Structure 1
Amino acid sequence: MSPHPHRAPASGPSRPTALRRLLPTLTLLGLAAAGFAVPAGATTVAHSGATGIHPAAERAAAATFPTWGTRWVVHATPDIASPSVGMINRNTPGQDRITADYQVDTGRRVCEGAACSTFMAHITQPVTGFLTVVAVDIPEDRLPGVPVQAGPPAQPSGSRQQTLQRAATWLTAHNGRPVPYHQGSYWRDGYRQDCSGFASMALGLPAPGTNTVGLADRGRSRPLPMNELQPGDLVIDAIGDNNTRHVVIFEKWDDSSHRSYTAYEQRSVHGTSHRSLTYGLSPGSEYKAYRPLQYGD
């Protein structure tokens, strides 16, 4: 599995070297360009040799930086396993500039080629959320001149609970409504709006997501008997073409008889759904149970 699951394969050029010697441009919020001042009453904390501003304090200024590559995912929290809230450089390498007001040392190393960083920047433009500093076109592993804030302890990624939490986000992501289904469209987090794109998002796989056959691949999951399904496992019909194949995310059995189960599903017409299903429970069904290898069991 990729060490940077937040990142889809880059379709643009490799990370520049000479051009990465660019300095950030200060975006002033009532300050002179000569310096970066801590607002009155703010508390500073030492962190990895840098100075950060206490989370409760307002930031004095923000800095803008160029980006590189394509399809960088912006996350809801400073955790690459957290839900995506948007994307930069969606179609063209380096098309966006980001504005950051602080950064967090997550303790989790993210690499793309020779570039690595444990830092995620809190950005306010062009999308609000957290972005790995690896996406920024600078020679450093952190943003120069931007306050560092201590982050929460790194949490294990790829857990069953995280899969279900991410799946639930699409139930209300479309202005309080489910994300619409469409095989040829991409949601604002960069994932395809079909069943396999939805499952890929929930599993934290790189955007725009693999297809149904890829989810059933032995390198990503293993088959198991239906009665052994646990929360976060997959039920997949990998036979046929893209009009007949399907995947759902198992949440729980509806009762001890195992005659039906509740699952998350991205389906035609209805979009993201959370409902009771019986896929795979009938003799001879093309639906089979699979356990993602990322769970480690």
Structure 2
Amino acid sequence: MYEHSSTHPADSTTPTDHTAAAGGPAEHRRSPFRRAVVRRVLPAVAAAGLGVTGFAGLAHGTPAGPSVGATKLTRDTATTATTVSARTTGAGSVRQAAAGFPTWGTRWVVHATADTGSPAVGMINKTAPGQDRITADYQVDTGRKVCEGSACSTFMAHLTGPVTGFLSVVAVDIPQDRLPGVPVQGGGGQPQPGGSRQEMLNRAATWLTANNGSQVPYSQAKVWKDGYRQDCSGYASMALGLPTPGTNTVGLATDRSITRPIALGELMPGDLLIDAAGDNNNRHVVIFEKWNNEAHSSYTAYEQRGGHGTDHRTLTYGLPGGDAEFKPYRPVTFDD
């Protein structure tokens, strides 16, 4: 069973979030020092007796309580980066680094994907400012700015703790608009303009070890922690950065805003081979990585397959002597 065409509605019970709605006019960039002052003083103000409402007002730039200049800066905001694992897959060694950062404020929503409009999967600092520290292994430039007071960023961090999901970088107590020392990857819950083929393959590789070091299990009914359906088309949608929970195999093959047909000999890394015929029990899609030889008699691909989950292996789908139902397609985001 390869494919399921149904989708899952977004969670309609997302808690109140301190992250502002994306979009709006660009703001004048304050100095890093000023930004650090704003982030550090707010928890102290809240601890001094302001309720959450007053605290949120100050966070969004409304004067409340003691002035920023009258507050001493005492918090240590140094980051601690540690390598947590190095796993070997069919693609070679994949190093996953996690860095720890202090947070600030209360009721920061952790989202399913790198999109502040995606469903909430958890919350940090529920009751006390700076109560939680987060660890992050990569960050995504969403291209959509979120601001808190004078602090603005388009980046969201992928958290490995205390909750797994995506958090706006403005929730972190650092003066920068992105996390220092943490790799930037394409993807998340929204398409990334200008995203490269390698970024797509990098996203595909994350599911090989996303399940506590193992592959994401296959399911036509469930969605993974990042909000994408755990079947083949949900997996390809994740790699492409399409909106969650992902389109189905027929959509990947027929929606010309997503792909266009190409010749077999044109296949390049990140292109798709799709069997869109039949029903959800026999449709399938795989992500082409590379030819295995000059004769083009086989190739290496990423796929999400029934009975196994995420895989990275040699295939012949769509080749002479292989399954002829598979046709090659190029994601239009690559524009080549």
- What's the TM-score, normalizing by structure 1? 0.64
The Cα of 1:257 is off from its aligned counterpart by 0.9
The Cα of 1:100 is off from its aligned counterpart by 6.6
Give the distance between the partners of 2:312 and 2:135, measured in 1 at CA: 37
2:101 and 2:133 in contact (8 A); partners too:
no
2:163 counterpart residue number? 127
The Cα of 1:248 is off from its aligned counterpart by 0.2
**Structure 1 SS opposite 2:289:** strand
Counterpart among 220, 227, 230 of residue 193 in structure 1: 230
Counterpart among 75, 82, 87 of residue 38 in structure 1: 75
**Structure 1 SS opposite 2:104:** strand
Give the distance between the partners of 1:169 and 1:27, measured in 2 at CA: 38
Q: Which moved more, 1:228-237 or 1:55-64?
A: 55-64
Q: Comparing both structures, which one devotes a greater share of its residues to helix?
A: 2
Structure 1 225/108 Cα, relative in aligned 2: closer, same or farther at 3 Å?
Answer: same
**Structure 1 SS opposite 2:261:** strand
Gaps (5+ residues) in structure 2?
1-7, 21-38, 50-70, 82-98, 126-131, 147-151, 187-191
1:43 counterpart residue number? none
Gaps (5+ residues) in structure 1?
1-7, 40-52, 75-79, 81-86, 134-141
Q: Which moved more, 1:229-238 or 1:116-125?
A: 116-125
**Structure 1 SS opposite 2:221:** strand
1:226 equivalent to 2:281? Answer: no
Counterpart among 292, 314, 317 of residue 276 in structure 1: 314
Give the distance between the partners of 2:208 and 2:296, measured in 1 at CA: 25
Give the distance between the partners of 1:122 and 1:270, measured in 2 at CA: 25
1:63 and 1:101 in contact (8 A); partners too:
no
Kindly provide the amino acid, as one letter, of the partner of residue 110 in structure 1.
Answer: R
Kindly provide the amino acid, as one letter, of the partner of residue 325 in structure 2.
Answer: E
Counterpart among 89, 93, 102 of residue 120 in structure 2: 89
The Cα of 1:66 is off from its aligned counterpart by 3.3
Give the distance between the partners of 2:282 and 2:307, measured in 1 at CA: 15
Kindly provide the amino acid, as one letter, of the partner of residue 12 in structure 1.
Answer: S
1:257 equivalent to 2:284? Answer: no
Counterpart among 183, 193, 208 of residue 171 in structure 1: 208
2:143 counterpart residue number? 109
**Structure 2 SS opposite 1:165:** helix
- Once the two structures are superposed, residues 220-240 of structure 1 have per-residue CA deviations (whole angstroms, 9 ceiling, x without a partner) of 011001111011100001112
Kindly provide the amino acid, as one letter, of the partner of residue 296 in structure 2.
Answer: H
Q: Aligned residues, how many? A: 245
The Cα of 1:154 is off from its aligned counterpart by 7.6
1:102 and 1:146 in contact (8 A); partners too:
no
1:203 equivalent to 2:240? Answer: yes
Kindly provide the amino acid, as one letter, of the partner of residue 256 in structure 1.
Answer: E
Give the distance between the partners of 1:213 and 1:128, measured in 2 at CA: 31
1:192 and 1:208 in contact (8 A); partners too:
yes
- Once the two structures are superposed, residues 178-229 of structure 1 have per-residue CA deviations (whole angstroms, 9 ceiling, x without a partner) of 2111111122222111101111111122222111112122110110011110
The Cα of 1:256 is off from its aligned counterpart by 0.9
Kindly provide the amino acid, as one letter, of the partner of residue 198 in structure 1.
Answer: Y
The Cα of 1:147 is off from its aligned counterpart by 2.9
Sequence identity percentage:
49
Give the distance between the partners of 2:330 and 2:310, measured in 1 at CA: 21
Give the distance between the partners of 1:202 and 1:294, measured in 2 at CA: 12
2:135 and 2:162 in contact (8 A); partners too:
no
1:138 counterpart residue number? none
Give the distance between the partners of 2:74 and 2:158, measured in 1 at CA: 19
1:286 equivalent to 2:313? Answer: no
Structure 1 66/36 Cα, relative in aligned 2: closer, same or farther at 3 Å?
Answer: same
What value does the CA root-mean-square deviation take over the aligned residues? 4.6
- Once the two structures are superposed, residues 105-149 of structure 1 have per-residue CA deviations (whole angstroms, 9 ceiling, x without a partner) of 98763169xxx952546868652565236xxxxxxxx45x94322
- What's the TM-score, normalizing by structure 2? 0.58
1:66 counterpart residue number? 107
The Cα of 1:72 is off from its aligned counterpart by 3.7
The Cα of 1:261 is off from its aligned counterpart by 0.9
1:242 counterpart residue number? 280
